[in-house]
Chain A
Amino acid sequence: MLINAYAKKVFNLAYQFSGSAQEAEDMTQEIFLKLYSSLRKYDFAKNFTAWLLTLSRNHLIDEYRRTKWERTQRDEFNNKVIAQDAFSGPERSIVREENKKLVWESLDRLSPEIRMTVILRDIHGQTYEEIAESLGLPVGTIKSRVNRGRLQLARVIKDRQGEWT
């Protein structure tokens, strides 16, 4: 069943991209509507997950461009599972949680294309080749986008650490 297999993946992609659970729910429904109406166009020789990701990515970026002026801020970061790292002290755990919050809030600073690439690589753990296939771009472009996105987020963390010291 498509929903059992892909609802969580699509919802989380939409949530990480948009930053709003409500918006992510709406977008997930729209993506599944599109999926059902496009199933006839699906080529069974191709990777279904990659095809669905392309469809989702296109919808999310198009919607973002269409509604970006109406958009509100990202949902407040709320990590439900704050597990303390077994190998480092509580201080390091606090820094890590602070970094997660900072990175979550800063994702909106990235352009939609770079944000999507960083999400697919670092949150969803896809390989550069998989992302290149699903987005229809050269691997070099994907690597460059991921590096630029990470650098932008790294500068936010660096600046914050500069404020603390």
Chain B
Amino acid sequence: MNDAHLEDLLSAYLEGELDESQSADVRRHLASCSDCRLLFESLKDAREALEGLPELEPSPALLRKLYAIPQKRRFRVVPEFLLRPSLQPVFAGATALLVFVSFLAFSSGGRAFQKSINRQLHVGYSKAEKLYAKAGSLTDEMGSYKQTILGSLKNIKLLKKGEEE
């Protein structure tokens, strides 16, 4: 058995996984080769050191961050395109509109405001009606003026004809 072959078997030998004849070969080699013996002792030390490395407790800050993850993920059920920053002004406008509408619909101040709007609308409508009526009477007046003027023009023509004769 050469050194390279022995090295391949060292972990298996350490863990008792070799059969009896392989174990005997390794023992013989280790007994005769001080360098390999030292390597085997170091391998045992390395394994012992690894097994003895301390475990750390996760910090409270890390645990807080981990507990916060599921909540963040739950919010992801909203379609991604709705979370685009470019839509934020649209959402802000829609929210303001909804607040205004609910203020009008449900608050007493809102109802008073609604009444005053209705009153203003009513006043505006009656003003428009009056204006329309005025416009109608003005048209009538214009019609009567038109008739008068036409009558006068006819009279003037008749007079002119009488003079010629």
Contact = CB atoms under 8 A, between A and B. Distances in A.
Interface string B109-133: 0000000000000000000000000
A44 to B, nearest CB: 19
A152 B2 CA distance: 18
A12 to B, nearest CB: 5
Given A28-B62, A32-B69, A155-B39, A104 B53 contact: yes
Contact of B63 (A3, A12, A156): A3
A25 B62 contact: yes
Interface of B: 7-8, 10-12, 38-39, 42-43, 45-59, 61-63, 65-67, 69-70, 73
B53 A100 contact: yes
A36 B43 contact: no
Given A7-B63, A103-B46, A146 B73 contact: no
B111 to A, nearest CB: 49
Contact of A151 (B7, B48, B59): B7
Contact of A15 (B43, B46, B51, B56): B56
A147 B39 contact: no
Contacts of A99: 45-46, 48-49
Nearest to A78: B54
20 contacts: A15-B56, A28-B62, A80-B54, A81-B54, A100-B49, A103-B46, A104-B53, A122-B47, A147-B8, A147-B10, A147-B12, A150-B10, A150-B46, A150-B47, A151-B39, A153-B43, A153-B50, A154-B42, A154-B45, A161-B38
